[in-house]
Chain A
């Protein structure tokens, strides 16, 4: 039982490049989330999903897209990377929205 896994661990992008951050969970959780964490700031919700095929915006969705074709996977797409997207990205999952969230190890992204 690996929990929540994320790839890659680190990535450097140039302005304007695109990339997909991968997230997979093996706990059969319906709910999945993407957060970003900037230094000295709390985690901010980017997007979340309540099940396969259903996604919704969080607090800071601009510049990102998501899809959820399976229960296990919830990739986050950056289409045109900007320096403001330099951050640590965490994926999380939970049994329900009222429940504890379990986090992946994070992806450190730098946009230069």
Chain B
């Protein structure tokens, strides 16, 4: 089983739609969680950290469920500029920290 799993997509949604991505992780020693955004042929950039209480940044909401070992990202009122690949990242501590990247979920927002 992969340490971090994401649905690769693509998710094709119309502008204005709400879309949600899930990411599951296998190791309960996971300490911190992030969503990164990666545009085509560009570097990953931090979108938001994910906190136990959940957090929101404008149209983006991230949730963490430690009991079920998954994190989610909700995007409301999708824009064309949201089209990208969204990477789930889990930082795990097992003697040393280990940053594990999911393979990403591709989102295409259609006009």
Residues of A within 8 A of B (CB): 33, 40-43, 45, 90, 97-98, 100-106, 108
Contact = CB atoms under 8 A, between A and B. Distances in A.
Chain A interface secondary structure, helix, strand, loop or mixed?
A: loop
B102 A42 contact: yes
A60 B52 CA distance: 32
Chain B interface secondary structure, helix, strand, loop or mixed?
A: strand
Interface string B10-51: 000000000000000000000110100000011111100100
Nearest to B97: A97
B103 interface: yes
Given A90-B43, A97-B96, A42 B8 contact: no
A103 B44 contact: yes
A105 B43 CA distance: 5
A62 to B, nearest CB: 18
Interface string B74-111: 00000000000001000101001111111110000000
Q: Which are the 10 A-B pairs with shortest beta-carbon distances?
A: A97-B97, A103-B43, A42-B101, A43-B101, A42-B103, A100-B46, A105-B43, A103-B44, A106-B43, A98-B97
Nearest to B2: A42
Given A42-B100, A100-B49, 15 more contacts: A40-B8, A41-B103, A42-B101, A42-B102, A43-B44, A43-B101, A90-B43, A97-B96, A97-B99, A98-B93, A100-B46, A101-B46, A103-B43, A103-B45, A104-B43
A53 B48 CA distance: 32
Interface residues of B, number: 24
Interface of B: 4, 8, 31-32, 34, 41-46, 49, 87, 91, 93, 96-104
Contacts of A103: 43-45
A100 B34 contact: yes
A42 B104 contact: yes
